[in-house]
Amino acid sequence: MAIRDRLSGNEAVAVAMRQINPDVVAAFPITPSTEVPQYFSSFVADGKVDTEFVPVESEHSAMSACIGAQAAGARTVTATSANGLALMWEMLYIAASLRLPVMLAVVNRALSGPINIHNDHSDSMGARDSGWIQIYGETNQEAYDNLIQAIRIGEHPDVMLPVMSCYDGFITSHAVENIDLIEDDKVKEFVGEYKPQYHLNDRFNPVSMGALDLQNHYFEHKRQQAEAMRNAKKVILEVAEEFYKLTGRKYGLFEEYKMEDAEIAVVVINSTAGTAKYVVDRLREKGVKAGLVKIRVYRPFPVEEIVAALSKCKAVAVMDKADSFNAAGGPLFTDVTSALYGRADGIKVINYIYGLGGRDVKTDDIEAIYNTLLDIVKTGEVKSVYNYIGVRE
């Protein structure tokens, strides 16, 4: 029977970590993720877990310690945000290339500079091609559920890749919501034991990790990483189905909200989806066939599934809480349009950059985006593809 509680997103993630009881947590504080290792360290001090907690001098060291621990056969978890994730940059690629399923809670925050501690997605979006699986959560409940599922996903023998479980700084991380927790014993049973096929402490099957990898083998190893990322999509859905049987909470690669007959739709990530759903409901009351696609799994990107979800729409707006500075559009926009190209070319697709540095996105802003889509459907004309909303021009 589920345990009803009121927790912030960071508390919920720390509780999930306690229930998983990882072998090692190595972490360095940075707002707004600081509370995750802070709460977890109290579980260590109180003897509620037998995790080896390693306080380090930087985020680069935190990920380095996680890589060493995971390579030695230990299940390893950490958390960070923004500049902390940027300081891990070198080690993110190493963790992925060594096929080490480190679990990282990313509490999304604007990446400096200028210095800003509030939410956007520039940190994790900057790491989107580092070889990590990326899963995003709208609510505290999803942040909790995603972390538990992420352990199983990353450690699957067909995957063996590190996983970022991302949720919005302050909006999700610090806001308190009602949440349904799973019983401790059921979480432990669900995640199981970490039994890597190879690790450094196996004296009967000695291996080398981090060796020099030149022209003869580097390309093949990168190709294997790419195949593992392809495999992850199937595994994510399999784990989600098991999780549904355990909890009654259903997850997929993304959520479709009132998309059955939608003629216009918005594609968005994380907490803004809640605001957008309210706008969709209001437009539906007026007879507007509006819908929403909320991305949950961004890496691997669900190309065929996104195309199927949007194929009946006449116009789509992709909302990015990060800018690529490529003069062409945000990262989610370029992935969505790439997916649609050659598969659903008739759909008019536009992009909106919004909410950078924690700028509020209001229902009026999102409704204005839907109204622009309605104009596109009516006139067949796209006046501007690459747009900003909520900024003083």
The rounded distance, in Å, linking the Cα atoms of 275 and 297 is 20
Write the CATH number of the domain with boundaries 3-247. Answer: 3.40.50.970
Q: Which top CATH class is 254-388?
A: alpha beta
pLDDT of residue 1: 65
The dihedral formed by the CA atoms of 319, 323, 326 and 332, expressed in degrees to the nearest 10: -40
Q: How many CA atoms lie within 13 A of 105 on its CB side?
A: 43
Decide whether 3-247 matches 254-388 in CATH topology: yes
> Nearest CA to 236 among 298, 287, 186?
298
List the structure tokens of 85: 């994730």
Element (H, E) at 264: strand 264-269
Instruction: Annotate 342-364 with b (16+ C-beta within 10 A) or e (fewer).
Output: eebeebbbbbbbbbbbbbebeee
Per-domain boundaries in the chain: 3-247, 254-388
- Quick check: helix, strand or coil at residue 215? coil
CA distances from 380 to 302, 344, 349, 373 (A): 28, 16, 12, 10
- Residues 6 or more apart whose Cβ sits within 8 Å of residue 248: none
Q: ∠ CA 382-383-389 to the nearest 5 degrees?
A: 105
Task: List the chain pLDDT tens, one digit each, 393 residues.
Answer: 689 999 999 999 999 999 999 999 999 999 999 999 999 999 999 999 999 999 999 999 999 999 999 999 999 999 999 999 999 999 999 999 999 999 999 999 999 999 999 999 999 999 999 999 999 999 999 999 999 999 999 999 999 999 999 999 999 999 999 999 999 999 999 999 999 999 999 999 999 998 899 999 999 999 999 999 999 999 999 999 999 999 999 999 999 999 999 999 999 999 999 999 999 999 999 999 999 999 999 999 999 999 999 999 999 999 999 999 999 999 999 999 999 999 999 999 999 999 999 999 999 999 999 999 999 999 999 999 999 999 998
Tokens 């008739």 locate to: 346
Q: Are 31 and 117 contacting, i.e. CB atoms less than 8 angstroms apart?
A: yes
Burial (CB count within 10 angstroms: exposed 0-12, middle 13-18, buried 19+), residue 38: middle
Q: DSSP state, 183?
A: P
Q: Are 134 and 164 contacting, i.e. CB atoms less than 8 angstroms apart?
A: yes
pLDDT of residue 10: 98
What is the DSSP code string of 109-171? -PPSSS---S--SHHHHHTTTSS-EEEEESSHHHHHHHHHHHHHHHHSTTT---EEEEEETTT
